[in-house]
Structure 1
């Protein structure tokens, strides 16, 4: 029978499906609000699509992809603070990114000035654009800052960001040397594949909101090590539990409510259910009649975009740069994992090459990618030409993030659903943010608030019925 809150002093219960950041944040928030939470995770570890794994050959914990957060990621930072692990991350005291083309290095950096003037010194000195393009870029940034996304949401959802940029006098050179430099890694797609609304959001929130909003942060340990033990402790302290190796087999319904979650352990029941599953997995778990409704069919509009990481270990240090972007190389962004994690130089150096929107690499054999990118490292860094490569590891995430294209707006479902006791979380839901760690945490917090409100309303209705009886 479908479960519903009853008038008693018993503790409210919630089942959270999925142990990624969305599920972790939902579970912690629900526990803090007084619910007894059980989190189900199909694998033997937490993290979802932001996890790490031990690589025996190198001796490192390897992230499934290079994840960063920005100074504007307030709810992700809040979760790390809630878990007591913020000190295991580092955050720039101001934005500073070296950008290299043809051996010439420019910098995107934030000056101690109020926005948008904090970027002006960097733009004036940026060597990869000529004077006229710098003036056009300044005009484009002005238009970005003052575009009212809320007022023009429908139109901005229908137009792609490339079209918007061209309408506002941005040349292909500016798009290549600046706009896509940021759009591609943050949205995992270039400007032509994303909505103008989402492209504008990235620059309004990430670069223009204040001078620290684009400061770059990283975990100084593996992503799983960063959150797993702390999340288990936080959920356990509230009387909840995490069940590993417990995949969801089906979401079973009775009427317009969830009756329970079918697992290998049987049917698990609770007052409320939060799905923090990927959009395609959610549709597979729902009964066919439910997933075929207009509400849930919206999620079929979402499509996946891949990310590829090429991890390279060398017997010596070849660069002191912590992070660097390239304009004239297949290497989009390079992260110095040895420096980020504070490892001594006598261990050699571990570099991570991050390739976003990586459709062109997803089906290339790993051996070919290893060869190409080691050669490219040696071309870009003279010190690498005499270094011995001790290990190369290619990690492909074919389903890394959804593509925020014009069709995606219909697929970003809200936290509440037509199923009375089913709530949604996940970076793909309607958070207003792209598919990032920040979006995942925001979605979990939003789902927890929705559950808490629903449980309180249902309790009040049940109490009224009991009093009337």
Structure 2
């Protein structure tokens, strides 16, 4: 009897969502996986932090029902999306009198959007006609442009009204691409709309994590890898990756190990520094956009009428917030805690913590008509300065395969249909894992 074939070994460098995905997929396929992470905690740019004795995310997230790869990975590592995520129908609901009220009923597509449009409050007839025209035209175009342009140019092309742009398209663009519409890629925006508004009804659902981001996936991923004989090394910064015969050698301050394959799931600048002269050509550089989340703590009996609201930002009025979440309706241990998200937040973050939190609390109090919310018990602004790449028209993004044998990139910045989202990261990690398996089992 012949000896059993040796299982391939794989190093995954970087334990953000892309790296954790690659490691889980490889472990599930039987590879001997070692996951390296420079930080002590996993999660990368979507992680949890401790503030005032509470576990908070470094950015409040909304996912979509269209995130099929993310939902599949959650199930694979033992997380039940039905309990870990609050499932809401597509909606853009502003505080009473401050915008519009758009809620899609739970009907088959596309009837859910048609009924939502008919019932929408706060939109004039011309706004509704413009929205219907855009949706019909995008479907006719198969959600594809011959040449990319900015989201603003796309909306102008389809005669979208100023009110509809302000209350629907601009906040959706900021939430999905974290890039202002005047600079955001229309094609990538259409990709997101295609998979949500243009797909089955559940694909447009909004999914809000009930668990902290660390518990939602990275921690469960680490346990999954460990259970399959893998090795998760936190606090292990990789200093160098070099070719060693037919293998790759990965160096840290305390170890030097050989692997059949490597997935580099770090930011592109870090990946470029690790691989240096071995790269056939330099990795592209990216501009980045920050995201700020302001957490406002009130007495535990403080509760909003809805789990989350859209907010109309207005710099001149000192209104920076774009989405407002009642964390107590997501996690009972966070009763009285509100989270306000500011995408593409460079200008807001420049104000400093105290000034920004004061302005956001006043905005919340004003639009909700609840003066007591202007004075939270404590507040904290968390800014992820390099939260996403600026998703601009015609942006060139590298593929997973960069021409090095058995070494692949993973990360939300790599080439795929999506912007820098959790789904984009997961898709990239899965693609890198498939490439490793193809290279090592051929």
TM-score, with normalisation over the residues of structure 2? 0.92
2:255 equivalent to 1:259:
no
Q: What does residue 454 of structure 1 align with? A: 439
Match 1:12 to one of 8, 15, 39: 8
Q: Would you say how many aligned residue pairs link Structure 1 and Structure 2?
A: 433
Q: What does residue 236 of structure 2 align with? A: 246
Which structure has the bigger radius of gyration? 1
Q: What does residue 4 of structure 1 align with? A: none
Measured after TM superposition, the shift of residue 290 of structure 1 is: 3.4
Counting only pairs closer than 5 Å after superposition, residues 59-458 of structure 1 correspond to structure 2 as 59-86=53-80, 88-92=83-87, 94-100=89-95, 103-104=97-98, 106-149=100-143, 152=145, 155-156=147-148, 159-253=149-243, 259-287=248-276, 289-291=277-279, 293-294=280-281, 296-297=282-283, 299-300=284-285, 302-315=286-299, 316-327=301-312, 329-343=319-333, 349-385=336-372, 389-408=376-395, 410=396, 412-457=397-442
Distance 1:135 1:149, change over 3 A: closer
Measured after TM superposition, the shift of residue 318 of structure 1 is: 4.7
How many Å separate the matches in 1 of 2:150 and 2:367? 33
How many Å separate the matches in 2 of 1:421 and 1:231? 23
How many Å separate the matches in 2 of 1:130 and 1:290? 59
Measured after TM superposition, the shift of residue 166 of structure 1 is: 0.8
C-alpha RMSD of the superposition: 2.2
Tell me the SS of whatever aligns to 2:441.
helix
Distance 1:253 1:407, change over 3 A: farther
Q: Bigger shift: 303-312 or 229-238?
A: 229-238
> How big is each residue's C-alpha offset from its partner over 1:336-379, in whole Å with a ceiling of 9 and x where there is no partner?
11111134xxx750000000011211322111112211222222
> How big is each residue's C-alpha offset from its partner over 1:210-257, in whole Å with a ceiling of 9 and x where there is no partner?
2111211122221112334422221012111101100121222469x7
C-alpha contact 1:100 1:327 (8 A) present in aligned 2: no
2:20 equivalent to 1:24:
yes
C-alpha contact 2:364 2:374 (8 A) present in aligned 1: no
Measured after TM superposition, the shift of residue 403 of structure 1 is: 1.3
Q: Bigger shift: 310-319 or 140-149?
A: 140-149
Q: What does residue 316 of structure 2 align with? A: none
TM-score, with normalisation over the residues of structure 1? 0.87
How many Å separate the matches in 2 of 1:106 and 1:376? 17
C-alpha contact 2:95 2:368 (8 A) present in aligned 1: no
Structure 2 residue ranges without an equivalent (≥5): 314-318
How many Å separate the matches in 2 of 1:214 and 1:348? 28
Distance 1:182 1:260, change over 3 A: same
How many Å separate the matches in 2 of 1:169 and 1:375? 34
Measured after TM superposition, the shift of residue 108 of structure 1 is: 2.3
How many Å separate the matches in 2 of 1:262 and 1:384? 57
Distance 1:306 1:258, change over 3 A: farther
Tell me the SS of whatever aligns to 1:128.
coil
> How big is each residue's C-alpha offset from its partner over 1:288-330, in whole Å with a ceiling of 9 and x where there is no partner?
x334x43x43x22x21111011000012415232010022542
Tell me the SS of whatever aligns to 1:399.
strand
Tell me the SS of whatever aligns to 2:370.
helix
How many Å separate the matches in 2 of 1:32 and 1:209? 30
Tell me the SS of whatever aligns to 2:217.
helix
Structure 1 residue ranges without an equivalent (≥5): 1-6, 458-469
How many Å separate the matches in 2 of 1:46 and 1:342? 24
Measured after TM superposition, the shift of residue 450 of structure 1 is: 0.7
Q: What does residue 3 of structure 1 align with? A: none
List 4+ stretches of structure 1 deviating above 6 A: none
More helix by share: 1
How many Å separate the matches in 1 of 2:270 and 2:387? 14
Tell me the SS of whatever aligns to 1:433.
coil
Distance 1:8 1:272, change over 3 A: farther
How many Å separate the matches in 1 of 2:224 and 2:176? 30
Distance 1:386 1:393, change over 3 A: closer
Measured after TM superposition, the shift of residue 451 of structure 1 is: 0.5
C-alpha contact 1:111 1:211 (8 A) present in aligned 2: no
How many Å separate the matches in 1 of 2:135 and 2:27? 43
C-alpha contact 2:296 2:380 (8 A) present in aligned 1: yes
Measured after TM superposition, the shift of residue 8 of structure 1 is: 7.3
